[in-house]
Amino acid sequence: MTIFCSHCHRPLQAETSCLPKRGNQAPSASKPFRSTKSASKARRDQINAELQALRSLLPISAQEKERLSYLHTMALVCLRLRGAQLFPPDSAPPAGPGLGAELLSLLPGFLLVLSANGKLVYISENVAQVLGLSMVELLAQGDTVFDILDGRAHEEVRKKLLLAQEEPGREVTFVGEMRTSKAFRLQHGGNRAVAVRGRFTALRWPASPSATAFLALCTPLARLPADGDAGSQDHLFQSTHLLDMTFTDVTESVTYHLGYRREELMGQSWYNLLHPEDADLAAAQHRAVGDAAEGAGLVAAHAPCPYYPHQ
């Protein structure tokens, strides 16, 4: 019977092998490092100490620091690093962080600053009034604007940001549902639709992606009814349409928002009120709603005042 070597598969005599004998093998290299409990504990202690040091440098109150998890700490640190890159200490600070709490409370929404690739750089503190999430809690969702937006809006947001980046100074607007707290969703039935209006601005010259930021104001599309204010509808107007978007009815409050009397809009097409730049997006949402059995869509569009058409 022929015996084959298990290593090279050549025939060989019994008791032989082409493999070197154990005694003739070269001494092996140092044994692979195996972590011990003490070494693991030492590494954890070192990481904890470094995170504590980073946490102590954050410009927030001691009470807020105590509540920060490791994830929140790293999210805030990364946010501050991106801000320091766009707004170096020796340059003028961005307008947002310098605003006082009183002035922020007067805004119809919250301020947002993005880097050229969509990374979050700054979120004003009053974001909690709009989304029910603090700045720190929102950062835990992710570090880009796409992480805080519903996925259905991502493609449109990318197009608008690219358009704004190609033409610095040009204002763009996009709409999307932003993530909210669990308590907010339970109370209001879902996330919140927000209109984001802003433009890319060169912070230093010569302009480059690393020195360009998208500065925006994020405004909720509909104000939530406050206590005792549930019956007031002056902050919005409602309309009904035929399938071709011809007006069949509209509330009287449209006069306050658009400047048209109710009678002037009856029988008109909704498309007659839109800025030409918004027509394609509005038509796409119109088709999407029409194709769905129970559809809903969001669109931000410029509606001209009768005295200032297409403004």
The CATH 3.30.450.20 portion of the chain extends over 46-224, 225-311
When the candidates are 3.30.450.20, 1.10.220.10, 3.40.50.300, 3.90.110.10, the CATH number that belongs to 225-311 is 3.30.450.20
Contact by Cβ (8 Å): 65, 55: yes
Q: Is the pLDDT of residue 185 over 80?
A: yes
pLDDT (tens digit, 9 = 90+) per residue, 14-35? 545 555 555 555 555 555 556 6
Q: Which of 27-31, 134-138, 236-240, 289-293 has the highest mean pLDDT?
A: 134-138
Please give the Cα distance from 235 to 174 (Å, whole number): 20
pLDDT in the model for residue 7 = 61
pLDDT in the model for residue 94 = 47
pTM for the whole structure? 0.61
| Bridge partner residues of 144 (DSSP) | 119
If one looks up domain 46-224 in CATH, what number appears? 3.30.450.20
pLDDT (tens digit, 9 = 90+) per residue, 37-85? 888 888 888 988 888 888 888 877 787 788 888 888 888 888 888 888 8
| Bridge partner residues of 199 (DSSP) | 215
Q: Is the pLDDT of residue 91 over 70?
A: no
HSE, CB side, 13 Å, CA atoms: give it for residue 298. Answer: 21
Say how many C-beta atoms besides its own lie within 10 A of residue 92's C-beta. Answer: 9
